[in-house]
Amino acid sequence: MQQTAEGVARPAGRPRSEKAEKAIIDATLDLIGEGIGVAELSIEAIAARAGVGKTTIYRRWSNKEDLVVDAMASLKPPIPLPEQGASVRDALVTYLRVIRDESSQVRTRCIMNIAMSDAERHPRLAERFREIAVEPRRRAVAAVIQRGIETGELRPDLDAEMAMAILSGTMMWHMKWAHQDRQPSDDLAERIVDEALKGFRPRPGED
Amino acid sequence: MQQTAEGVARPAGRPRSEKAEKAIIDATLDLIGEGIGVAELSIEAIAARAGVGKTTIYRRWSNKEDLVVDAMASLKPPIPLPEQGASVRDALVTYLRVIRDESSQVRTRCIMNIAMSDAERHPRLAERFREIAVEPRRRAVAAVIQRGIETGELRPDLDAEMAMAILSGTMMWHMKWAHQDRQPSDDLAERIVDEALKGFRPRPGED
């Protein structure tokens, strides 16, 4: 989905369809957030909520599942590429900050929970969501870790998949289970990365 | 909730109420698993599904939220205490196996997702669930880690909360995001613990 920043003059062409697309995505997320399951969600209801006709939706999405996948993917934007020359630590901190920011939004978390519980009954939806929103992140982080192994910042036998699971899982755990009265500290991403790096860095006296 | 193993003669007293209690908990979980939100869930519907009268429910639970909390807690049993003399590694592997087993059950995962998305709108429910089902585990694992620090198996500056987040979060990540075609391997708990211990053990040359 392409979005135009508020206040910036839209380039010529397709302004109406972009606006409609955003309204359709928002309507879909709103309905899921209100607890409408994927099974009960109807193109009619989405069209009514978005204030568009059904054909406007079908012009862009051939079926409901594809629309739900795109709506969910809009909540998980791709992580920014690390700046040229950034250390592995900085790149991983950036990654964890993205995860922290998106899971600190109650609406996002709520919709993801509902959608994932629904996904158990809709394996194809879950699979496509993984392809569109999870796999690109996995590849981006795997590339950062691979680069860290090459530069010697990380130990050569580090399992990239396990390293990503440790980083993302630890952040997810904090956002889900931390005490409500203990807000995640501003430096949570840094603390997780520094803790994880204690196990990821080459061991002294080894290659 | 007390349960009597199938096929074992029940001790005298309270057999009927135990059976009713299990039926009520199961009915509550079934309804949540079908997507009935906590707001719409009614004692009437639970009583009808469980085949008991409403008074039977009210005799045990004074309100719906308490019943939902107990039903959710029944999905997260306390982790077994480590055997006397077990190593920290073995105790942590046992803990992660419990998390793996419960999150490998689609129904459990589905209900927990729904309940947690609902909990966003019911903070008191989320808070009580944490007290009943999350905090006891947190304390049990913190005790294992504390013991490991005392025996020298873990480094003295290890943050118990962060260590638990790394262990549980990494397992949760694997159960949630791993490829569908890649079943979690039988030794996943061991692999996670061994990877985490690389960062948790005392560093060579330090105290």
What's the pLDDT score for residue A206? 53
> Distance between CA A140 and CA A163 in Å, rounded?
13
Question: Which residues of chain B neighbour A120 with C-beta distances below 8 Å?
Answer: 106, 109-110, 113
A52-74: per-residue pLDDT in tens?
Answer: 999 999 999 999 989 998 998 88
Confidence of residue A13 (pLDDT cuts 50, 70, 90): low
pLDDT at B94: 92
A117–B106 CB contact, under 8 Å: no
Task: Name the more confident of B35 and B187.
Answer: B187
List CB contacts of A124: < 8 A, sequence separation 6 or more.
A65
HEC string for B35-103: CCCCCCCCHHHHHHHHCCCHHHHHHHCCCHHHHHHHHHHHCCCCCCCCCCCCCHHHHHHHHHHHHHHHH
> What is the average per-residue pLDDT within B49-77?
92
Average pLDDT over residues A188-206: 89
The closest CB to that of A204, out of B35, B199, B205, belongs to: B205
Structure tokens at B45: 């519907």
Tell whether the model's pLDDT for residue A76 goes beyond 60.
yes
More confident residue, B81 or A20: A20
Choose from A169-173, B17-21, B78-82, B193-197 the range with maximum mean pLDDT: B193-197
> Minimum mean pLDDT among A3-7, B11-15, B27-31, B115-119: which range?
A3-7
Q: H-helix or E-strand containing B119?
A: helix B106-119
From chain B, pick out residues whose CB is under 8 angstroms from the CB of A196.
Answer: 166, 199
pLDDT at A5 over 60: no
The residue of A96, A100, A113 whose CB has the most chain B CBs within 10 angstroms, and thus the best one to mutate to test that interface, is: A113
**Phi-psi label, residue B83: left if phi above 0, alpha if psi -120 to 50, beta otherwise:** beta
Looking at residue A79, what is its pLDDT? 78
Mean of all residue pLDDT scores within chain A: 83
CATH 3.40.50.10490 is held by the domain A15-68: no
ipTM over 0.90: no
Instruction: For chain A, list residues whose CB is within 8 angstroms of any CB belonging to chain B.
Output: 35, 37, 106, 109-110, 113-114, 116-117, 120-121, 123, 126-127, 130, 134, 159, 162, 164-166, 168-174, 176-177, 179-180, 191-192, 195-200, 203-205
Sign of the Cα pseudo-torsion (A91, A93, A99, A104, in order): negative
Q: Is the CB of B166 less than 8 angstroms away from the CB of A169?
A: yes
Which range among A17-21, B64-68, B192-196 has the greatest average pLDDT?
Answer: B192-196
Domain A88-200 has CATH 1.10.357.10: yes
Mean pLDDT value across residues B55-82: 88
- Average pLDDT estimate for B122-129: 80
For the four alpha carbons of B154, B136, B104 and B166, in that order, the dihedral sign comes to negative
Query: What is the location of CATH 1.10.10.60 in chain A?
Result: 15-68
The band of A178, judged by pLDDT with boundaries at 50, 70 and 90, is low
Average pLDDT over residues A96-109: 82
The three-state secondary structure class of A205 is coil
- The answer on pLDDT for A118 being more than 50 is yes
| Chain A residues within 8 A of B192 when measuring between CB atoms | 162, 165
Subunit contact B110:A126, Cβ cutoff 8 A: no
pLDDT at A7: 42
Nearest residue of B to residue A199 by CA position?
B199
| B31: pLDDT strictly greater than 80 | yes
Q: Of A62, A173, A55, give the one whose Cα is nearest residue A128.
A: A62
Residues of B in contact with A106 (CB under 8 A): 120
Q: Which residues contact B69 (CB under 8 A, 6 or more apart)?
A: B125, B128, B129, B132
Average pLDDT for A3-27: 68
* Cβ within 8 Å, pair A127-B180: yes
Percent of chain A at pLDDT exceeding 90: 43
Mean pLDDT of B122-137: 82
In this predicted structure, which of A8-12, A148-152, B111-115 has the lowest mean pLDDT?
Answer: A8-12
How many Cβ pairs closer than 8 A exist between chain A and B?
115
| A169 three-state secondary structure | helix
| Cross-chain CB nearest to B173 (options A37, A172, A205) | A172
Dihedral angle computed from the Cα positions of residues B197, B199, B200 and B201, in that order, rounded to the nearest 10 degrees? 80
Q: What is the pLDDT of residues A28-40, one digit of tens each?
A: 999 988 878 788 8
Give the pLDDT band of residue B119 (cuts 50, 70, 90).
Answer: low
Over 50: is that where the pLDDT of B1 sits? no
Chain B nearest C-alpha distance from A171 (Å): 7
Q: Is B15-63 a CATH 1.10.10.60 domain?
A: yes
pLDDT grade for A182, boundaries at 50, 70 and 90: low
Residue B5 has pLDDT above 60, yes or no: no
Q: Are the beta carbons of B162 and A35 separated by less than 8 Å?
A: no
* Residues of chain A above pLDDT 70, percent: 83
Chain A hits for B174, Cβ within 8 Å: 165, 169
Question: Where do the CATH 1.10.10.60 domains begin and end in chain B?
Answer: 15-63
What is the C-alpha R_g of chain B? 20
Residues spanned by CATH 1.10.357.10 within chain A?
A: 88-200
What is the pLDDT, as a whole number, of residue B43? 96
Which residues of chain A lie closer than 8 angstroms to B198, CB-CB?
199, 203
pLDDT for residue A179: 54
Mean pLDDT of A108-114: 73
A121/chain B closest Cα distance in angstroms: 9
Give the per-residue pLDDT at A57.
96
- DSSP characters over A119-165: HTT-HHHHHHHIIIIIHHHHHHHHHHHHHHHHHTSS-TT--HHHHHH
How far apart (Å, rounded) are the C-alpha atoms in residues A159 and A165? Answer: 10
CB distance B108 to B75 below 8 Å: yes
Q: What is the rounded CA–CA span in Å between residue B99 and residue B114?
A: 18
Mean pLDDT for the stretch of residues A139-148: 90
pLDDT band at A27 (very low <50, low <70, confident <90, very high): very high
